[in-house]
Structure 1
Amino acid sequence: MGEFHKMHGLGNDFVIIDARLQSIEISPTRAQMIADRKFGIGCDQLILLLTSEIADVRMRIFNPDGSEVEACGNASRCVVALLNQDLNIETLGGIISGKLSGNDVEVSMGEATFGWQDIPLAFAMNTDAMPLAWDNLAAPMAVNMGNPHAVFFVDDVDAVDLRQLGPTIENDSVFPERVNVNVASIAGNEIHLNVWERGAGLTGACGTGACATAVAAIRQGKATSPVTVHQSGGTLTIDWSPGQPVIMTGSATYVFKGQADWDAFG
């Protein structure tokens, strides 16, 4: 039997396994089975903690479809809260540093990048206003926050059917590594955001999506830092200045600890 922790950041929920303390191999099939909400434990992402040679801990992140992704802001906050200490976390998207901040956790997500090769895109184009459209969603800004994001600003975020458009945009050939789809409306420094998350679908909260959207709003002069980002699962504060790391602050909630026979999951 192995131990796991169930946590969430604004409803974005995780099964966290500390593989430094137990032996477990994660394949795409096993990740899918653990994440399944009817036949497994159930989560938006499976998080595997490992030893790191360059940071305090290494974090691997698996989506419910079994794919492995580069970064997750909500999971990073949960890992800091779980281990109850300030941490540097190694991810495929780079080093994320986090620290306890009262009842919240503050994480430095690294610098946002904007080059078409950084996103990446299939060919060169203006990433501040991509000359592309899907139905009524047009001219998104592309941002890499350790993982790829397309950010659309609209008048009414809830009028956009992301369940329909999200999969189409995520899997468009212009995004060779697929993309996270962010649709947002702005009022002052308040952003209301819905996210179709690559490999996971419509989510109540996406930390890197909140960062990418706030960065896009600040870069385009639509808002000034710090920005408050509201998602259906809750609220994050994003602080960013050009050339500096993106700082995200929000809650991380421990739900329960459990045990499972990992061999039962494929």
Structure 2
Amino acid sequence: MLQFTKMEGIGNDYVYMDGIHQRVPMDATFISKISDRHFGIGSDGLIVILESEVADFKMRMFNLDGSEGKMCGNGIRCFAKFVYDEHLTKKTTLQIETLSGIKTCELKIENGEVTSVTVDMGKPVTTCREIPVVYDQEEMIDDELVINGIKYRGTAVSMGNPHLVIYRDNLDFNLEKIGPHFEKDPMFPESVNTEFVQVIDEKHLKMRVWERGSGETHACGTGACAVMYASYLNHLCGPEADVELLGGHLQIAYRDGHIFMTGPARTTFRGYIQEEDYR
């Protein structure tokens, strides 16, 4: 029997499992079944809490199709809340190991529980070969690209995972129809998260996101960071902006070469599952 906690950060929801005190399966079959919203727990994927040799904890995150992701901004805020609320640590400043490096989290505590977390998301990357993007220039900043025969202008940014930011006059369109074409285009050898952005004003950005391996989600923390930085590069916002996603708002700031993300984290419920039921 496995204990789990369901958590969400502005609608980006994951199943969290303590991999320190129990053995957690991390294969695609198990992950896709527990993530199924009709026959499983229902989530955007699985996040596992593990011991780390180089930080306070190690985070492994998996998309609902079982593929492993390098980093999840909303996920790491909930991760930080989990380890504090479940008394795995008393620290309010945490170092968390991810596949995209060690991230620092500052916890805001109210009545003994974490209500919000500020994460140092690190330095944004715009070098195409590091994102990676197959492109004939060193960077793609408001440059033309063709996806499924249609011309777009986009800005490519890595926040530990690849993002492509596209600006639109409005966000009322069929994302399910065009999102997969971006995700699977050969231009992106590791596939890509695609953000479609409407600039409300220089302090308010509105977005929808198609996440690789998960489809459209209510929120993507690294995506919000990529949107803010791309907008900063394109002179559409200043060094701080409120980014509005389907699930809520994140405050993103660019300081000293790093991106900082602040937002809520919430536990929705806890439970137990029989592992064999998901095999």
TM range (shorter): over 0.9
Q: Report 1:37-48 matches (<5 A).
A: 37-48=37-48
Say whether 1:117 aligns with 2:129.
yes
Query: In structure 2, what is the Cα distance between the partners aligned to 1:136 and 1:161?
Result: 15
Say whether 1:169 aligns with 2:176.
no
Say whether 1:9 aligns with 2:22.
no
The Cα of 1:86 is off from its aligned counterpart by 2.5
TM-score when scaled to structure 2? 0.91
Query: In structure 2, what is the Cα distance between the partners aligned to 1:86 and 1:261?
Result: 34
Query: In structure 1, what is the Cα distance between the partners aligned to 2:5 and 2:93?
Result: 19
TM-score when scaled to structure 1? 0.95
The Cα of 1:45 is off from its aligned counterpart by 1.8
- Of 64, 80, 86, 2:93 maps to 86
**In the alignment, what sits opposite 1:191?**
205
- Of 140, 150, 159, 2:154 maps to 140
Is contact 1:24-1:262 (8 Å) kept? no
Cα shift readout 1:122-170 (whole Å, capped 9, x = no counterpart) = 3433411333033666121000001000001111122x32111100111
Is contact 1:14-1:75 (8 Å) kept? yes
Cα shift readout 1:171-221 (whole Å, capped 9, x = no counterpart) = 000000000010001122100000001100011111010000000001111
Q: Report 1:41-80 matches (<5 A).
A: 41-80=41-80
**Structure 2: 5+ residue runs without aligned partners?**
85-91, 110-114
Q: Report 1:109-258 matches (<5 A).
A: 109-125=121-137, 126-134=139-147, 138-158=152-172, 160-186=173-199, 187-241=201-255, 244-258=257-271
Is contact 1:188-1:223 (8 Å) kept? yes
The residue identity in structure 2 corresponding to 1:129 is D
Is contact 1:74-1:207 (8 Å) kept? yes
The Cα of 1:2 is off from its aligned counterpart by 1.4
Secondary structure of 2:276 counterpart: helix
Is contact 2:142-2:234 (8 Å) kept? no
**Cα-Cα RMSD:** 1.4
Is contact 1:137-1:152 (8 Å) kept? no
Runs of 4+ in 1 over 2 A off after TM superposition: 122-126, 133-137
Q: Percent identity of the aligned residues?
A: 39
Query: In structure 1, what is the Cα distance between the partners aligned to 2:151 and 2:97?
Result: 34
Query: In structure 2, what is the Cα distance between the partners aligned to 1:67 and 1:174?
Result: 20
